[in-house]
């Protein structure tokens, strides 16, 4: 909120208060605060001193001292509109919206208040009312269209033949086209819509729908599509930490046919650390149902932790996927994953976007064909740019590389993609 006025209670002031006021008006709040602080005890009954000291303390981050200073001004002069408005502002800065609104109510009812200032304060009071009731409702979304080239659309080996231990006596076997690496151009469309509505000041309901469709040129067998729906509730605790619980469902199609349905839930606790940073802990459970392949049906359990900074996010997660039929237990596995993502501005409308992730998977039982337990280590790297064309449109050129090392030759592969995307957010 802009200051109502920068004038003290009396027309005249001494040099010390005048010097502090000049510093305050030129944006040097810290210097103004340091100038007045040594005289606080001696001049605690001076309204001029307290008013300027309150301004300097508020704008330099000393909110408790500012509140006390403005209260001393009002104790000497309850009709000091500027001091009451500033007191309301500091209460709002401190997170006490209820008290801030009460103070502003007193200000806007002052008949001497100029109409333009009254209108501004009316808007502030309406905004506080909205915050008190939880913030109202909002809807947002995005559409992302991209195209490029994928060196390995089916995440397959580049070998033409492999030896399967169970049939080793027959020599190497020739792999079919679908089991060998295929490079194709592709295009993809992603879209999402999300909404949130307040139940109370601390509790909100949220829901989202995310869809994507990817088509490969001249190879429809590996086209992909998915729809993911999420709904849940988030509750802000007294210390401003957030606890959320949500349910999620996803339908995945491969080659135009239904491939997998997953249903589950996610719980998350987020600790706010200030300066836009946060620490989160999560736990999840999903039931996976594979069409036409009941041996792969599984229950997936996972836990994770992440740290979000202003320009990066780091996370670690792990868990277990357990098939629901003993005959498929060679497909059950433990997993652990670490991830680092960075979005670093390099110009006013340009940011460098990069990521690196590693995952380890260890399977429970020996595979009946390869006569050994499968072991995988995977590395994923991405590098791109995010160029803002307008407030809600940007373009994103991107390169990605994946390498999966496996003791099964059939699952040992690498993959590279190059793409260009245009994204619209609303």
Instruction: DSSP letter for 37, please.
Output: G
Q: Are residues 118 and 147 both part of a single domain? A: no
Tokens of 151: 């060196």
Residue ending a domain, among 77, 111, 132, is 132
Write the burial class of residue 16 (CB in 10 Å: 0-12 exposed, 13-18 middle, 19+ buried): middle
Average pLDDT over residues 328-334: 97
* pLDDT band of 335, cuts 50, 70, 90: very high
How many Å apart are CA 276 and CA 216, to the nearest integer?
A: 39
**Is 365 a member of any domain?**
yes
How many beta carbons lie within 10 A of that of residue 136, not counting itself? 11
Mean of per-residue pLDDT scores for the chain = 89
pLDDT at 3: 41
Question: Would you say 167 and 104 are in contact if contact means Cβ atoms under 8 Å apart?
Answer: no
Closest CA to 2 of 128, 123, 126, 120: 120
Tokens of 237: 């605790």
Q: Are residues 196 and 274 in the same domain?
A: yes
**Burial of 100 by CB count in 10 Å (0-12 exposed, 13-18 middle, 19+ buried)?**
buried
pLDDT-derived band at 6 (thresholds 50, 70, 90) equals very low
State the total domains in the chain: 2
- Here the tokens at position 134 are 């939880």
184 with 102, same domain? no
Q: Is the pTM of this model over 0.85?
A: no
- How far is it, in rounded angstroms, from Cα 324 to Cα 302? 17
In a domain, 2, yes or no: no
In angstroms, the Cα distances linking 13 to 19, 31, 401 are: 10, 18, 68
| CA gap 52, 49 in Å, rounded | 6
Give yes or no: residues 167 and 81 share one domain. Answer: no
Instruction: Please tell me which residue, 87 or 352, carries the higher pLDDT value.
Output: 352
Distances (CA, A) of 321 to 87, 112, 285: 56, 70, 10
What is the tens place of the pLDDT at every residue in 245-300? 999 999 999 999 999 999 999 999 999 887 778 999 999 999 999 998 999 999 99
Radius of gyration of the chain (CA): 30
**Dist. CA 15–CA 41, nearest whole Å:** 18
pLDDT category at 199 given cuts 50, 70, 90 is confident
- Give the confidence band of 117 by pLDDT, cuts at 50, 70, 90: low
What pLDDT is attached to residue 123?
72
Q: In the numeric block, which tokens belong to residue 378?
A: 């995977």
pLDDT computed for residue 228 by the predictor: 97
In sequence order, the β-bridge partners of residue 422 are 145, 395
Q: Is residue 10 part of a domain?
A: no
* Host domain of residue 94: 15-132
Helix axes 81-93, 47-59, angle to 10 degrees: 30
pLDDT in tens, 19-42: 888 898 888 999 999 999 998 988
17: three-class secondary structure by DSSP: helix
CA dihedral sign of residues 90, 94, 99, 105: positive
The confidence band for 239, taking pLDDT boundaries of 50, 70 and 90, is confident
Q: Across residues 129-152, what is the average pLDDT?
A: 84
CA distance 395 to 399: 14
> Percentage of the chain surpassing pLDDT 70?
91
Is residue 33 assigned to a domain?
yes
CATH code, domain carrying 67: 1.25.40.10
Q: Are residues 97 and 156 in the same domain?
A: no
CA distance 324 to 212: 29
């Amino acid at each position: 909120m802009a200051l109502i006025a920068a004038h003290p209670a009396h027309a005249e002031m001494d040099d010390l208060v005048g010097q502090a006021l000049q510093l305050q008006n030129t944006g040097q709040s810290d210097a103004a605060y340091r100038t007045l602080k040594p005289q606080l005890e001696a001049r605690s009954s001076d309204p001029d001193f307290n008013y300027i000291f309150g301004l300097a303390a508020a704008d330099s981050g000393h909110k408790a001292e500012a509140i006390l200073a403005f209260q001393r001004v009002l104790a000497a002069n309850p009709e000091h509109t500027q001091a009451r408005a500033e007191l309301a502002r500091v209460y709002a800065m401190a997170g006490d919206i209820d008290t801030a609104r009460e103070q502003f109510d007193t200000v806007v009812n002052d008949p001497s208040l100029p109409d333009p200032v009254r209108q501004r304060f009316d808007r502030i009071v309406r905004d506080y009312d909205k915050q008190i009731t939880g913030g109202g409702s909002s809807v947002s979304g995005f559409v992302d269209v991209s195209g490029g080239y994928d060196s390995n659309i089916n995440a397959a080996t580049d070998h033409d033949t492999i030896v399967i231990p169970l049939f080793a006596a027959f020599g190497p076997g020739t792999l079919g086209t679908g089991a060998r690496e295929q490079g194709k151009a592709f295009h993809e469309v992603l879209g999402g819509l999300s909404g949130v509505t307040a139940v109370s000041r601390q509790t909100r309901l949220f829901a989202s729908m995310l869809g994507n469709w990817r088509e490969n040129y001249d190879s429809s067998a590996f086209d992909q599509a998915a729809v993911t729906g999420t709904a849940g509730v988030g509750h802000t605790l007294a210390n401003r930490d957030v606890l959320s619980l949500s349910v999620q469902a996803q339908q995945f199609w491969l080659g135009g046919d239904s491939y997998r349905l997953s249903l589950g839930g996610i719980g998350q606790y987020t600790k706010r650390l200030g300066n836009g940073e946060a620490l989160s802990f999560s736990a999840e459970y999903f039931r996976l149902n594979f069409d036409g392949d009941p041996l792969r049906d599984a229950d997936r359990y996972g836990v994770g932790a992440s740290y979000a900074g202003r320009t990066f996010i780091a996370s670690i997660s792990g868990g277990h996927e357990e098939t629901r039929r003993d005959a498929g237990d060679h497909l059950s596995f433990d997993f652990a994953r670490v991830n680092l993502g960075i979005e670093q501005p390099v110009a006013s409308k340009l940011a460098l976007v990069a990521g690196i992730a590693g995952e380890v998977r260890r399977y429970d039982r020996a595979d009946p064909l390869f006569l050994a337990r499968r072991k995988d280590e995977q590395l994923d790297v991405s590098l791109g740019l995010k160029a803002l064309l307008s407030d809600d449109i940007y373009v994103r050129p991107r390169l990605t590389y994946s390498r999966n090392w496996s003791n099964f030759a059939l699952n040992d592969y690498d993959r590279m993609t190059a793409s260009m995307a245009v994204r619209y957010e609303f």
